[in-house]
């Protein structure tokens, strides 16, 4: 499904309405002023004081970048609060029905809500960054233009991803308290993302931040498209129906998801597109690993200890214990891939084949392809097809999770994809047991 049609003029009406509500409360205005002025001025004053009273040049330069990240991050987190309130707040104020009764299209209402939150959030982020730069860098002899531009771009993508995800939660939540609880599904992944961004800023390489911004842009597009495709005023108005016996309804949904699932061969054929993607992960990883090893982008001294620790962790001296260790490691990997499929939009399934391929290619770059391939024969003849099937089904789970339909049924679709994966484990787990025995006794 493509992007829905909308009239920007009508979406702007909804955006202006929400902006008026945002600036009508004194507490929100005070918070905005503090985020835009007080925190950047305090951070910049700390950097200037360190530069004036004995801080080393390298330390001051690095601290100035950390301060820039800090003054951008806090307003970005403020966007989560505004986005969570966008629809569920209207419900609690009993103004939602009035908004949905207007002749505006669903896409115009949704786009207006998102645009209003983005306008406030990005104004706070860039206002704070501008104040910080005007105080910090004059006379410092250091101005990292490339890093600051990359930080500004990644902020747009990061805020857009957070806002789009939070608006989806606001659409599906019945109360603000429920929305705050569900927001943990955004806060936890974004906390990891923010730590990665902070590490990249400390490295001081603008190209890494550009790559980070590209990944965040993809996430933002995925979330925005989910919101557009899944927003329906009929479903939103009917959200209060069926509140009784939630646990019984949940158990019924789980039981139905396991009914009439196809056999393994039919399942593989029905999911042939994600299976092809998972299969492509192995040669893609091998190619990337070979390039990384041959060009020394990743030094061999970094990877060799990892490979050595992996070998030692399975080399117990007892063949049975070694087979059990390999088997348990592979089963745990398959379980984690499925558990992370929803949060990673299926990327964990691709990594299930990409990561072994990367290690294979890296070893081949350090030695030879014959030596690298000899390490996966004959167990790889069983283990690799099992990884491809598991990876393809995990990719299907992720694809189902990011696909929303205005007619609803998201939970049933995701549960069905998870049920396919769980039922496939009946064949995949024995295959992993056979692969571990082959690796120990014939490898």
Each residue's pLDDT tens digit, 231-276: 777 766 665 554 556 566 667 767 777 777 778 888 888 888 999 9
- How many CA atoms, within 13 angstroms, populate the side-chain half-sphere of residue 422? 13
* Lowest pLDDT segment from 25-34, 236-245, 360-369: 236-245
In a domain, 3, yes or no: no
In a domain, 125, yes or no: yes
In a domain, 31, yes or no: yes
In a domain, 2, yes or no: no
pLDDT band at 180 (very low <50, low <70, confident <90, very high): confident
The reply to whether 257 and 316 lie within a common domain is yes
Model-wide pTM > 0.85 = no
The reply to whether 166 and 307 lie within a common domain is no
The reply to whether 62 and 156 lie within a common domain is yes
The reply to whether 174 and 317 lie within a common domain is no
In a domain, 279, yes or no: yes
What radius of gyration do the chain's Cα atoms show? Answer: 26
Domains held by the chain: number: 2
The reply to whether 48 and 136 lie within a common domain is yes
CA atoms of 338 and 395, how far apart (whole Å): 9
Domain region containing 301: 246-441
In a domain, 93, yes or no: yes
The reply to whether 159 and 250 lie within a common domain is no
The reply to whether 259 and 232 lie within a common domain is no
pLDDT band at 63 (very low <50, low <70, confident <90, very high): confident
The reply to whether 225 and 284 lie within a common domain is no
pLDDT value for 279: 93
In a domain, 263, yes or no: yes
The reply to whether 250 and 204 lie within a common domain is no
> Which of 122, 102, 163, 150 has the alpha carbon at shortest distance from 36?
122
pLDDT value for 246: 59
In a domain, 322, yes or no: yes
The reply to whether 400 and 320 lie within a common domain is yes
Structure tokens at 39: 């925190």
pLDDT value for 277: 92
Does residue 208 register a pLDDT over 80?
no
The reply to whether 358 and 432 lie within a common domain is yes
Show contacts of 52-61: CB within 8 Å, 24+ apart. Answer: 57/142, 60/140, 60/142, 61/142, 61/144
The reply to whether 284 and 358 lie within a common domain is yes
């Amino acid at each position: 499904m493509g992007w829905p049609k909308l009239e920007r003029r009508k979406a702007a009406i909804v955006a202006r309405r929400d902006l008026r509500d945002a600036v009508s409360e004194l507490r929100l205005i005070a918070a905005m002023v503090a985020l835009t002025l007080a925190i950047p001025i305090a951070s910049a004053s700390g950097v200037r004081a360190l530069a004036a009273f004995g801080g080393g040049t390298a330390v001051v330069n690095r601290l100035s970048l950390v301060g820039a990240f800090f003054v951008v991050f806090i307003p970005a987190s403020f966007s989560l609060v505004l986005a969570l309130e966008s629809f569920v707040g209207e419900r609690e104020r009993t103004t939602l029905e009035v908004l949905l009764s207007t002749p505006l299209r669903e896409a115009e209402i949704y786009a207006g809500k998102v645009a209003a939150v983005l306008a406030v959030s990005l104004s706070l982020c860039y206002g704070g960054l501008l104040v910080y730069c005007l105080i910090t860098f004059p006379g410092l002899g250091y101005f990292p233009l490339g890093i600051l531009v990359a930080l500004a771009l990644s902020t747009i993508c990061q805020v857009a991803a957070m806002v789009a995800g939070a608006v989806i939660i606001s659409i599906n939540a019945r109360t603000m308290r429920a929305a705050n609880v569900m927001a943990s599904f955004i806060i936890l992944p974004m906390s990891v993302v923010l730590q990665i961004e902070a590490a990249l800023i400390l490295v001081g390489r603008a190209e890494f931040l550009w790559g980070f911004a590209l990944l965040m842009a993809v996430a933002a597009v995925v979330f925005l498209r989910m919101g557009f495709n899944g927003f329906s005023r009929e479903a939103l108005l009917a959200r209060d129906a069926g509140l009784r016996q939630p646990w019984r309804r949940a158990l019924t949904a789980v039981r139905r998801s396991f009914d009439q699932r196809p056999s393994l061969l039919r399942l593989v054929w029905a999911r042939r597109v994600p299976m092809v993607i998972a299969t492509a992960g192995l040669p893609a990883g091998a190619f990337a690993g070979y390039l990384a090893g041959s060009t020394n982008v990743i030094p061999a001294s970094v990877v060799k200890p990892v490979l050595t620790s992996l070998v030692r962790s399975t080399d117990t001296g007892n063949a049975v214990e070694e087979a059990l260790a390999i088997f348990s490691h592979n089963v745990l990997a398959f379980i984690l891939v499925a558990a992370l499929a929803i949060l990673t939009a299926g990327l964990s399934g691709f990594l299930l084949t990409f990561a072994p391929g990367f290690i294979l290619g890296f070893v081949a770059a350090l030695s030879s392809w014959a030596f690298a391939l000899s390490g996966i024969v004959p167990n790889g003849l069983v283990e690799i097809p099992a990884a491809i099937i598991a990876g393809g089904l995990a990719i299907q789970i992720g694809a189902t999770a990011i696909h929303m339909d205005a007619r609803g049924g998201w939970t049933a679709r995701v549960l069905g994809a998870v049920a396919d994966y769980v039922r496939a484990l009946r064949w995949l787990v024995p295959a992993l047991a056979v692969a571990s025995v082959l690796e120990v006794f014939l490898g």
